Amino acid sequence: MKNKSQRPPAPNDIRLRRILDETLTAPHWPEGFVMRSFERRDAQALHALLEEVFDDGADGPFEDWWPRILGDDEFDPDLWFLVIDGKGLLVGAALCWSSGFVKDLAVHPDSRGRGIGEALMRHVFLTFRGIGTAHVDLKTNTVGNAAALRLYERLGMIPVAWEG
């Protein structure tokens, strides 16, 4: 199945890459937040988070989204990382394809500015380096997602060709 990383670029879209070298540093999880791996029982809450964060409706209703995810050859639930707050609520997620591609990085608006996105990305980098992946890529928009772009640049991600 062709995943979303293969769609043609929209205006101001960019592909970024982080080489997974010895300069990587461990994540710092903000106090009161914990990271854990995805479990299938998280699927509906995760979809709701994505709908909240990405208001473009691109993922469609849960009944369409979940089978599409399960059918993707690059889906590996062990590469989907969730952040839970002190109340047990899902507030962040990094969803990665097995190819070393970050499909989605989402932090609930009420939990932004605390370092959750940065910690998730650092965890992603170390996870993929640990399984022998040379680099991690993602795609974003330089205008519509300027704050995320600043985070990615701060983390050492650099632009590469859209096709990778």
Residue-wise pLDDT tens digits, 64-101: 999 999 999 999 999 999 999 999 999 999 999 999 99
Quick one: tokens of 123? 């965890």
Break the chain into its structural domains and give their ranges. Answer: 9-160
Residues in contact with 50: Cβ distance below 8 Å, sequence separation at least 6, in sequence order: 59, 93, 104, 106
Tell me whether strands 34-37 and 90-97 are parallel, antiparallel or unpaired.
unpaired
Strands (E), the chain: 13-19, 34-37, 75-84, 90-97, 101-107, 135-141, 158-160
CATH number for the domain formed by residue range(s) 9-160: 3.40.630.30
SS3 call for 41 = helix
Q: Given this model, what pLDDT does residue 2 score?
A: 40
Q: What does the pLDDT look like over 106-130, one tens digit per residue? A: 999 999 999 999 999 999 999 999 9
